[in-house]
Amino acid sequence: MFLSRSDRILRGALVMLALLSGSVVLLIVWFLVAGALPALRDGYLPRLLFDEHWQPGSARDPQFALMPMLAASVLVTALAALLAAPLGIAGAVFHRFYLPKRLAVWNQRMLELLAGVPSIVFGFWGLTVLVPLINRLHPPGQSLLAAGIVLALMILPTIALTSQSALRSVPESQLLAAAGLGMGRFATVFHIALPSARSGIGSGVLLAIARAVGETMAVVMVCGNIAKFPGSVFDPVRPVTATIALEMGYASSSHKALLYLAGLILVLVTGALTGWLAFGKRNAGEVS
């Protein structure tokens, strides 16, 4: 293929920029691995799995149990997804099939606005409004439940907006055909639109989950940060991200390396989620 000089320059520049942005993630992983290496070398990996407590600063008996925190990350994320997914998907169905166009635009604007609220604001709201409410039900208030609710509010726009766009991309012809067959609105939504938009909605939920796993600032303010397996939703928990945020600024030597290792594990988990997302999408594409 013949390329003119300016085309070649443009191509070169684009290749450079694409490589640069692609390599950032590799750089980050490399940086995490380098930071975590001392912990791996000194055999801390089994301690992460089998220690009983997280007390890295203890002079008498330092312990590094990561499992309660991984469990907390999973539980908080699952709770948030459980709360946000039905709300977001139902909202999207309402937005697409029931809400008048003029109001639908505003509904979407509000969701976009919600998506733009900084996470620290959610955390502040959670700590000053939500936590006292939960405290009245069951002290201390800072809990798995509080973190799940705050996180649900934060990922709600992602789920709602991706579900909206998935529903929008259901071919008009299918909907018209349904109407032509005399199907009611309910039947159209549940038997035509939702099945057809399933993969788009699913990837929206997964995207939201990937964000929820990594969310930090809001969670750290409302989760209570106790690194133990919770007995109920009212118990405080400490996700991995909260630990890194709370302790990174003050950690040194093996403690610091362990925090890097925790970060690495978290990146691998979100990486796996994103991979699953891409893989699932390709499979879905092959089927349809």
Which one, 135 or 199, has the nearer CB to another protein?
A: 135
Which one, 32 or 221, has the nearer CB to another protein?
A: 221
Residue 124 CB, nearest distance to another protein (Å)?
8
Q: Which two tokens stand for residue 240?
A: 């991995």
Cβ pair 279, 201 in contact under 8 A? no
Residue 228 CB, nearest distance to another protein (Å)?
10
Which one, 255 or 281, has the nearer CB to another protein?
A: 255
Residue 250 CB, nearest distance to another protein (Å)?
3
**CB count in 10 Å sphere of residue 55:** 15
Which one, 84 or 234, has the nearer CB to another protein?
A: 234
Name the site residues for another protein (rule: CB under 8 A): 53, 55-63, 127-128, 131-132, 135, 139-142, 220-221, 224-226, 236, 238, 245-247, 249-252, 255
Cβ pair 229, 195 in contact under 8 A? no
Residue 252 CB, nearest distance to another protein (Å)?
6
Which one, 199 or 247, has the nearer CB to another protein?
A: 247
Residue 236 CB, nearest distance to another protein (Å)?
6
Q: Say how far apart CA 244 and CA 256 lie, in whole Å.
A: 9
3-state SS record for 8-24: HHHHHHHHHHHHHHHHH
Residue 214 CB, nearest distance to another protein (Å)?
18
Q: Which two tokens stand for residue 218?
A: 């809001």
Task: Enter the DSSP assignment of 118.
Answer: -
Q: Say how far apart CA 29 and CA 32 lie, in whole Å.
A: 5
Which one, 130 or 266, has the nearer CB to another protein?
A: 130
Phi, psi of 35 (to 5 degrees): -70, -35
- Residue found under tokens 């293929």: 1
Residue 167 CB, nearest distance to another protein (Å)?
40
Which one, 164 or 243, has the nearer CB to another protein?
A: 243
Cis bond leading into 140, ω under 30°?
A: yes
Q: Which two tokens stand for residue 208?
A: 């939201």
Angle subtended by helix axes 240-247 and 67-97, to nearest 10:
120
Which residues, in sequence order, are CB contacts of 75 under 8 Å at separation 6+?
A: 144, 148, 230, 237
Any idea of the CA torsion for 158, 160, 164, 170, to the nearest 10 degrees?
A: 90
